[in-house]
Amino acid sequence: MKMKIILVLGLISVLGCQTFLQSKSGEEQKAEYSESHLDFKRWGRDSNCCSAVGVKAAVASGGTNSSKAGLEILKAGGNVVDAAVATAFVLAVERPHSAGLGGGGFMTLYIKDKNPQAQFIDFRETAPEKAHRDMYLDKNGNVIADLSVIGPLSVATPGFVLGLFEIHKKWGRLPWNRLLIPSIDLAARGFKIYPSLAKHILEKQNCLVRDIQAQKLLFRDGKPFQAGDLLVQKDLANTLRRIAKNGAKEFQTGKTAQAIASYMKANSGILSQRDLKNYQIKYRNPILGNFKQWGLISAPPPSAGGVLILQMLKVLEGFPLQELSQKTAQYSHLLSEVLKRAYADRSQFVGDPDFVSLDYSKLTDPTYIEALRSHVSLDKATPSTEIRGGQWMEDKTHTTHLSVLDTQGNAVSSTLTINDIFGACVIAPGTGIFLNDEMDDFSAKPGASNIYGLTGDKANEIHPGKRPASSMSPTIITQNGQPILVVGAAGGSRITTSVFQVILNDLFVFQGDLKKSVFGPRIHQQWMPEFLDLEDSYSEVTKQYLSSIGEKVRQAPWSAVTQAAHLEADGSGRVRAVFDPRDEGGAEAY
């Protein structure tokens, strides 16, 4: 009898619990997040903000002046590559904390009249010749705090200038020096510091104040510049003038290279003139794949972006995505499950393909995808500790972005970086260039986390001439052989998850409303640390539901910033650019 009562009570409580969850999940259909997240007012913007539509071409980037420069070059007869190169150089001036000549990047291209049409160029920073595996460890094998993040030793050999120079040589139309005019002008004339730049200068003041050049540039009377102050970058303008005149050799062997190498030598850095001279860009095969009726072109290793996005899209193909994506908390949970598995694979496998041999196609192999999918439950979170990269395999704001799309079927998606805000916080005298701290994207030792909390394994250990693993995911989505969406993001480990969600938003959730797709609230899960980060508009009901099924819910400490352009879904043939209201940006079209 006692047993029967216990069974009945047990049954009632199980049923009760299910009803509770179902009804919670039922309510979620309406209440996943506040609609205000999609509203320009929430971001303190005016109603016209962040979006531009045109009949010829569109540019979105992380800077107002940068996107304007892209448009200026298009109107002057430049093609999408010219526009991207000019935009990238202005970004280097307008966002000195995010990207620039002292850093590197990736570019995914789709050029309609070329064969092959899809191209990928890796101009990422590489470990200098004198780098070695244990360079950030003390004698007990512990990671020395900040050594890979601040100062000369954290600097990897930059690839920005050679990358853009070679890309222009191969695919550009206008003369090289024409493309640099907008960046030279902006650096020389200056611009008013915008609020997020002011915030970053303040946030990084302790690091910046240690470098005399950074201090001269960004401080007055010992105090950091504030929003509204004029930022003139005379040294950078002169460096850009020399690069406009001499091309990439200025950065490899010219006055600029000498200034960087002498600074490094005098300040215990290891980056040498030989590293700058020997730096090479890589033409790599982009990640190509299909999901449903769309094609994907994205970044291959050393980026984790393309392979992870393709894997996640393929896993999602097996779920009723259209239905789930209509604002259910289950949708966020499903994404979280997919993200944590993909990031476990990232941690274990992704490194520079010139140094690590792995057949990355295994991560998107149909059998592996099926196995990943079969372990995802819609009702229960899998703890990250139960997930290992390759577990089911048979053998086994920071940064910035620009997207350019024209109506002729050409597209450029390029993500540029110096890694952390203001990179290594150092400027070689006379150059005006903030140098990167990309060495932190390597794993200092297996399992040690970097500034984004990402851990890595042997695949991503330091080696001279090697490129660190990256999250940068410049992506192009095609349909019937035509680019329909160009997207990328800034924001460390959150780049890949944000690009993935903007793609899903534009194709499924908001079905062709690019503004909502970029504005829309996002989640982030990167396997370790185990948190499911939700942006602040998600409702309490959603948070409670996700916690109740085992997700470790946390308010996102920060968000990635996306820049996108697409072909309007209304069949008008127009193109639209949208910049992310989460930070400064510009959207232009004509």
Q: Which stretch binds ligand GLY (CB under 6 A): 237-245, 468-476, 543-551, 562-570?
A: 468-476
Three-class HEC string of 285-336 = CCEEEEECCEEEEECCCCECHHHHHHHHHHHHCCCCHHHHCCCCHHHHHHHH
Looking only at the bridges linking them, the beta strands covering 400-406 and 282-284 are unpaired
Q: CA 148, CA 125: separation in Å to the nearest integer?
A: 14
| Nearest distance, CB of residue 122 and ligand GLY, angstroms | 11
Q: CA 105, CA 159: separation in Å to the nearest integer?
A: 7
For residue 302, is the peptide bond before it cis, meaning its omega torsion is within 30 degrees of 0?
yes
Active site residues: 399
| Nearest distance, CB of residue 580 and ligand GLY, angstroms | 17
* Residue 163 near residue 107 (C-beta atoms within 8 A): yes
Which of 164, 439 has the CB closer to ligand GLY? 439
Quick one: tokens of 57? 């071409």
| Nearest distance, CB of residue 459 and ligand GLY, angstroms | 15
| Nearest distance, CB of residue 351 and ligand GLY, angstroms | 13
Q: Label residue 382 exposed, middle or buried (CB < 10 Å: 0-12, 13-18, 19+).
A: middle
Task: Count H helices and E strands in the chain, helices first.
Answer: 19, 21
Which of 399, 542 has the CB closer to ligand GLY? 399
Which of 166, 420 has the CB closer to ligand GLY? 420
What pairs with residue 478 in β-bridges?
295, 483
How many residues sit close enough to ligand GLY to count as binding (CB under 6 A)? 9
| Nearest distance, CB of residue 342 and ligand GLY, angstroms | 15
| Nearest distance, CB of residue 538 and ligand GLY, angstroms | 25
Q: Which of 471, 497, 501, 563 binds ligand GLY (CB under 6 A)?
A: 471
| Nearest distance, CB of residue 476 and ligand GLY, angstroms | 19
Q: Which stretch binds ligand GLY (CB under 6 A): 65-73, 322-330, 464-472, 576-584?
A: 464-472
Which of 172, 492 has the CB closer to ligand GLY? 492
- The reply to whether 217 sits near ligand GLY by the rule CB under 6 A is no
Main-chain dihedrals φ then ψ at residue 131, nearest 5 degrees: -70, 150
Q: CA 299, CA 364: separation in Å to the nearest integer?
A: 14
Q: Which of 32, 275, 406, 441 binds ligand GLY (CB under 6 A)?
A: 441
* Residue 345 near residue 455 (C-beta atoms within 8 A): no
Token pair 């916690």: residue: 547
Q: Which stretch binds ligand GLY (CB under 6 A): 16-24, 384-392, 469-477, 577-585?
A: 469-477
| Nearest distance, CB of residue 567 and ligand GLY, angstroms | 28
Nearest by Cα to 107 from 165, 178, 67 = 165
Q: Which of 101, 472, 476, 565 binds ligand GLY (CB under 6 A)?
A: 472
Quick one: tokens of 489? 């993001």
479-498 binders of ligand GLY (CB under 6 A): 492
CA distances from 46 to 41, 49, 200, 330, 576 (A): 7, 5, 24, 33, 18
| Nearest distance, CB of residue 416 and ligand GLY, angstroms | 10
* Residue 125 near residue 418 (C-beta atoms within 8 A): no
- Interaction pattern, residues 115-144, with ligand GLY; x per rule: CB under 6 A: ------------------------------
Tell me if residue 230 falls in helix, strand or coil.
strand
Q: Label residue 411 exposed, middle or buried (CB < 10 Å: 0-12, 13-18, 19+).
A: buried
- The reply to whether 525 sits near ligand GLY by the rule CB under 6 A is no
Which of 87, 436 has the CB closer to ligand GLY? 436
Token pair 């201090």: residue: 215
For residue 429, is the peptide bond before it cis, meaning its omega torsion is within 30 degrees of 0?
no
DSSP state of 40: G
- The reply to whether 470 sits near ligand GLY by the rule CB under 6 A is yes
- The reply to whether 347 sits near ligand GLY by the rule CB under 6 A is no
Nearest by Cα to 82 from 210, 200, 180, 221 = 180
- Interaction pattern, residues 402-431, with ligand GLY; x per rule: CB under 6 A: ---------------x-x------------
Which of 153, 261 has the CB closer to ligand GLY? 153
Main-chain dihedrals φ then ψ at residue 328, nearest 5 degrees: -105, 150
What residue number has its CB nearest to ligand GLY? 470
| Nearest distance, CB of residue 71 and ligand GLY, angstroms | 27
What is the torsional sign of CA 513, 516, 519, 525?
negative
Q: Which stretch binds ligand GLY (CB under 6 A): 138-146, 261-269, 271-279, 467-475?
A: 467-475
Residues 6 or more apart whose CB falls under 8 angstroms from that of 194 comprise 227, 584
Q: CA 491, CA 398: separation in Å to the nearest integer?
A: 5
Which of 252, 399 has the CB closer to ligand GLY? 399
Which of 226, 449 has the CB closer to ligand GLY? 449
| Nearest distance, CB of residue 471 and ligand GLY, angstroms | 4
Token pair 């202005």: residue: 90
- The reply to whether 399 sits near ligand GLY by the rule CB under 6 A is yes
Q: CA 240, CA 254: separation in Å to the nearest integer?
A: 12
Q: Which residues are near ligand GLY by CB under 6 A?
A: 399, 417, 419, 438, 441, 470-472, 492
